[in-house]
Amino acid sequence: MRILGIETSCDETAASVVTGTVDADGTPHGIIASNIVLSQKDHAAFGGVVPEIAARAHVEALDQIIQAAMTKAECDFTDLDAIAVTAGPGLIGGLIVGLMGAKAVSIAHDVPLIGVSHLEGHALTVRLSDGLSFPYLLLLVSGGHTQMLLVSGLGKYQRLGTTIDDALGEAFDKTAKLLGLGYPGGPAVERAALLGDKNRIPLPRPLYGKMPPNFSFSGLKTALRQEAQKLADISPLTEQDVADLCASFQNAVSDVLDDRVSRAWKLAADMSGIEDMLAGKPLPIVVAGGVAANKTIRAQLQTTAEKLGTNLVAAPMALCGDNAAMIAWAGLEHFNAGHIDDLSLAPRPRWPLDKDAQPLVGRGKAGPKV
């Protein structure tokens, strides 16, 4: 199968052509023929994504990005089996642009249309990149989401834990903004942390040791601001102060992820039917989403997996951020299962992977300082 994927849920305009198949036993085989991503630069001045600017930029760029993906893949629209497009969740303006572009191509070339969840794209990325079979435990960490899910099949996602306040990527961005490191914040905090002392600043580990394995980063973010203010009250923050704050923040996050993932893994491994699906093999741990590109976090999760006696499968760096290859692959899996949409397909600003899980909103938890 050959699928064109389109992604416009936030501030990346992306298109990709993926070819592949899923064997009768569920084993995936995929090849990325092209993966073009245009990251918008106009949001840096505002310290975050401006929805209206993002939508207008998608309109201006989408046609060229699609054509670039088709050219690199050396195929024509008549060679496509289907078109997959991010239909949610995301910024409504961007979703509309991508969806209307996909519908136009579908109508013009009589190609089936498939609406894909952006989160499902992340969830299935390792099936494209590593040929991973179901089931596995997924840590999905991005700017808008932080969740632990048991992935037992296409469309079968059971949420075991989620954030009760900020997503981890948002906490990184706000930390960077507080310390004057610019946008996007995640890479900036990671770079600064390389030069810092991770043990200098005492910070909390929110919800550490608690069940269920949910997350809370609001209290951690507040604690970091308070510690930064204490230093600034003595003298202006130096580059070393900023580096130490970043390193201490990243260290606290790593400790939290180690605890949360360990508890979620033990919970998932004991669930009914999972042992039979694994056929004697340990339940793999998967990390995907933009924050999965953080090397310190990846290293911590590798240690966590080894401690639990299982394998860590991390999404490739190029597929951690928003991209269309993951959308094309998710579309391929759905097309293989006989799922297609008609032109009434509408954008969905909210689209949870676990449809039965209730939204969880609570007060931020600080926890003991370490």
Per-residue pLDDT of 322-334, as tens digits, reads: 999 999 999 999 9
Domain harbouring 84, CATH code: 3.30.420.40
Q: Tell me the per-residue pLDDT of 291-306, one tens digit each, with 9 for 90 and over.
A: 999 999 999 999 999 9
Does residue 209 sit in the same domain as residue 169?
Answer: yes
Q: Please state the pTM of the whole predicted model.
A: 0.94
**Strand, helix or coil for residue 139:** strand
Does residue 174 sit in the same domain as residue 304?
Answer: yes
- Mean of pLDDT values over 240-266: 98
Radius of gyration for the chain, computed over Cα atoms and rounded to the nearest angstrom: 21
- Residue 255, Cβ density class (10 Å: 0-12 exposed, 13-18 middle, ≥19 buried): middle
Does residue 214 sit in the same domain as residue 288?
Answer: yes
Does residue 181 sit in the same domain as residue 252?
Answer: yes
Whether 358 is in a domain gets the answer no
pLDDT of residue 169: 94
- Mean of pLDDT values over 74-100: 97
Q: pLDDT band at 42, cuts 50/70/90?
A: confident
Does residue 168 sit in the same domain as residue 302?
Answer: yes
User: Which has the higher per-residue pLDDT, 38 or 46?
Assistant: 38
Does residue 103 sit in the same domain as residue 237?
Answer: no
Count of the separate structural domains present in the chain: 2
Structural domain harbouring 155: 134-314
Q: Are strands 146-153 and 156-162 parallel, antiparallel or unpaired?
A: antiparallel
Does residue 236 sit in the same domain as residue 252?
Answer: yes
Does residue 163 sit in the same domain as residue 275?
Answer: yes
Does residue 66 sit in the same domain as residue 114?
Answer: yes
Average confidence score pLDDT of the chain: 95
At a CB cut-off of 8 Å and minimum separation 6, what does 148 contact?
137, 138, 139, 140, 159, 160, 161, 162, 213, 260, 261, 264
Whether 150 is in a domain gets the answer yes
Please state whether 26 falls in left (phi above 0), alpha (psi between -120 and 50) or beta: left
276 phi, psi to nearest 5 deg: -65, -40
Does residue 221 sit in the same domain as residue 81?
Answer: no
Q: Return the beta strands (E) in 103-226 as ranges.
A: 113-117, 136-141, 146-153, 156-162
Q: Tell me the per-residue pLDDT of 13-41, one tens digit each, with 9 for 90 and over.
A: 999 999 999 999 999 999 999 999 998 87
Does residue 291 sit in the same domain as residue 277?
Answer: yes
Alpha carbon distances (Å) from 45 to 27, 56, 59, 211: 45, 17, 21, 40
Whether 195 is in a domain gets the answer yes
User: Do residues 141 and 293 make contact, with C-beta atoms less than 8 angstroms apart?
Assistant: no
List, as own/partner pairs, every contact residues 19-23 make where C-beta atoms lie below 8 angstroms and the sequence separation is at least 24, other chains included: 20/128, 20/329, 20/332, 21/336, 22/332, 22/333, 22/336
pLDDT of residue 361: 73
Write down how long the chain is.
370
Does residue 158 sit in the same domain as residue 301?
Answer: yes
Whether 52 is in a domain gets the answer yes
pLDDT of residue 143: 84
